[in-house]
Amino acid sequence: MTLEISISIITTGICLFCAHLLLLRRRDTGVYLPLALLFLFQGTSTGVAAMAETYDPNGLGILFRISVLVGGLEITIPFLFWVYVRALTTEGQTERIPKLRYHVIPIVLVLASFWSLLFLPDGFAEAEFDDDDPQALGFVLIALAVLLADFVFKAMIGTYVYLTIRRLMAYRARLRDVFASTENRELTWIWMILICLAFYLCVSIAFTASVLSGLFAEDIYGTWLPTLNGVALLGLFWAIGVWGLRQRPGMTRQPVVAPPEPDHPQPQKYEKSALDDDRLQRIARKVEAAMEKDVLYRDPNLSLWDLAKHIGVTSHYVSQALNTHLNKSFFDLVNGWRIKDAIEQLNATDETILVIAYDVGFNSRSAFYKAFKRETGKTPSDLRK
């Protein structure tokens, strides 16, 4: 058994095991189903390809054709990963994908081009054709179709990397509107995977261009390249499995809709009707009172929804008051109060910095230091000195 096949078997086992665990989940199926299909398709494709390489390494028999059919499933993996990230960062119920046909059509075209390999006859690897042989034209067309599928697939990877990055940036901004502590919700592991995918894409494009230009001999890219590619896939799907299996949606908690105040009935369509300034000012004063008198900021898991419930208005109204009258996001408001409290304790007590950080509502020392530096331009140790 070669090293390449051994790596493929390990990758297959990891992918199928992860797919099995994800398919058993009954909660948040809209989030985990795309990830489960991603693992299932990759595991099945890698496993069948390993079988074809083991039992039919030089032929174009039934195992080769099955591997081509199943291998086409890998074309959907960039799309499925983007769908998973999209569902993971959705607030509330999973949204339908608008203009789905723009995602499906390229997948179908690439899949059809890749499946043109099914028309290769048995014994093609050992056959020799003259330039005027009619069958030679068919083989050239198949080669061009596969080459086109490869380039379009790489373009799809780049496109979904971009869409995923844009989604994560919008999600990070939304977290600051809803949560006071975001370090456990920012999906930093996905950023690392995107960096690896972007690097892999660049190397793959460069290598494909070098092969087409004849820079490398066939025995070079036919021996160590599959092994290197297998190691990269193994590491990538191992990382996705480790983090994806334990990642929870960051916006699962639903907003608490409190009844409107008696003397000010709630508009039926808030998104089309702004509140008057007087009521927004009253809400802003309630927010400040909740921080100053009720020290609500000391709750390490405080969210916009909790604050809205505490002062008795909807989260939409609180958000509008924060943006228009306090000119702050929820994240900046709460952490500003936390840092203010921390400064007072640093000057008036002998408690350790870590105790003060947890006391004012931070979940970690690193988050406290980062927020303190951003608010004051100093570290807590420098201020105490």
Ranking 67-71, 196-200, 361-365 by mean pLDDT, the lowest is: 196-200
Q: Which CATH class is domain 270-384?
A: mainly alpha
CA angle centred on 337, ends 332 and 342, rounded to 5°: 120
Helix (H) or strand (E) holding 318: helix 315-321
Ranking 18-32, 180-194, 280-294, 335-349 by mean pLDDT, the lowest is: 180-194
Rounded Cα distance between 152 and 172, Å, is 30
Rounded Cα distance between 202 and 2, Å, is 27
Rounded Cα distance between 242 and 232, Å, is 15
Per-residue confidence (pLDDT) for residue 345, from 0 to 100: 92
Phi, psi (rounded to 5 degrees) for 127 = -80, 150
Q: Is the pLDDT of residue 364 over 70?
A: yes
| DSSP structure class, residue 295 | -
Does this model's pTM top 0.95? My answer is no
More confident residue, 308 or 266: 308
Cβ atoms of residues 74 and 45 within 8 Å:
yes
Of 250, 232, 234, which Cα lies nearest the Cα of 242?
Answer: 234
Question: b or e along 146-176 (b: 16 or more beta carbons within 10 Å of the residue's beta carbon)?
Answer: eeebbebbbebbbebbebbbebbeebbebbe
Rounded Cα distance between 71 and 17, Å, is 19
Cβ atoms of residues 318 and 354 within 8 Å:
no
